[in-house]
Structure 1
Amino acid sequence: MSMESVASRIYLIRGQKVMLDSDLAEMYMVKTSALNQAVSRNRERFPQDFAFQLTETEWEFLKSQIVISNTGRGGRRKLPWVFTEYGSLMLSSVLRSERSAQVNIAIVRTFVRMREVLATHKDVARKIEEHDHHIGVLYDQLDRLLHPPQSPKRKIGYIWHED
């Protein structure tokens, strides 16, 4: 399983990177209902920061973003669950399939790589900002050298005052 295929299934919801229950079920090669049943039987392993159920509004928005067809015959009857990085890793302990270790490794590597990329982008942005600041300071100094401030000129000659 490639990092790209895992990364393409990670969405940002409620400010957290999450994966849909149906995507994880496909990766773990189990039915979505079996995955959700395993989670409900082990609910204590999935606190709110590991997994949560989407609201109707969140689900509608997500469907429109990733072009999931509307539920119809044989479609979803319940709102999906999403799993954070920790929740998706916890799944391997409750599913216990042969494939779970491979999927677990792929998910860990993908989330780690995403953090590295984000850190790199932040570092580059900080360096560009520092560079821009230094360029601005140099430009201001060069401008002062090329265009020194003009002091007021004194008039030369005799000034006549009538008393």
Structure 2
Amino acid sequence: MQIIRSIQNRIYEIRGERVLLDFDLAALYEVETKAFNQAVKRNIKRFPKDFMFQLTRQEWTNIKPEVNVAYIESIDNQNTTGNRSQFVTGSQRHRSTLPYAFTEQGVAMLSGILNSDRAIQMNIAIMRAFVEVRKILLQQNDIKEQIKELKERVGGHDVQLSHIYDALENLLDEKAAERKWENRERIGFKK
């Protein structure tokens, strides 16, 4: 479960897609980023634009702070779990080329080109992490729907309460008018 959480922390949303970056994948597969990217380039036909894309400078600049936070967290986890694969990520903070982003389908395609036992285990863990992220997002959407329904109900209750308040106010005004009528000074014959 710890590895799935670690993977989830490395999943970013870029261009409306949930992706893993090349250096994070290389770290998970315990290979160098350069070797990882070379293997991908040798099999580039397997990676259309909806499976893999290179980040723009602006996207990389925007996501870099998140990457640094994930890197620091992974170092903390490394100190407790002893996982050496985190070292590759550290060197990526100052890389000269823009990283590649792999969608869930792109990661699935990696299983066809990276065939070590570690790569197979990591692909299974990564697929599970994507499934968990999808479940979390579905739960969040359900919660959002429930909140929306509550707002609508409360809004409806506000209208109903307003009507009740107006009716009570009218009743109180009528009672006050009756009291004034009953307490008025009588004219005419007195008994």
TM-score category (smaller protein):
0.7 to 0.9
TM-score calculated relative to the size of structure 2: 0.70
Alpha-carbon distance between aligned partners in 2 of 1:91 and 1:111, rounded to the nearest angstrom: 15
Alpha-carbon distance between aligned partners in 2 of 1:27 and 1:40, rounded to the nearest angstrom: 19
Q: Which residue of 1 aligns with 2:52?
A: 51
Partner residue of 2:100 out of 81, 84, 97 = 81
2:135 pairs with 1:134: no
Alpha-carbon distance between aligned partners in 2 of 1:108 and 1:97, rounded to the nearest angstrom: 17
Gaps of 5+ in 2: 72-89, 171-191
Matches within 5 A, 1:98-109: 98-109=117-128
Higher helix share: 2
**4+ residue segments displaced more than 6 Å:** 68-72
Q: Which residue of 2 aligns with 1:158?
A: none
2:54 pairs with 1:35: no
Gaps of 5+ in 1: 151-163
Alpha-carbon distance between aligned partners in 2 of 1:42 and 1:29, rounded to the nearest angstrom: 19
For residue 87 of structure 1, report the CA deviation from its aligned partner.
0.8
Partner residue of 2:132 out of 107, 110, 113 = 113
CA deviation vs aligned residue, 1:3-57 (integer Å, no higher than 9, x gap): 1100111111112111111110110111111111111111110000110111222
Q: Which residue of 1 aligns with 2:65?
A: 64
Aligned pair count reads 151
% identical equivalent positions: 43
Alpha-carbon distance between aligned partners in 2 of 1:15 and 1:81, rounded to the nearest angstrom: 15
The structure with the largest alpha-carbon Rg is 2
Which amino acid counterpart does residue 122 of structure 1 have in structure 2?
N
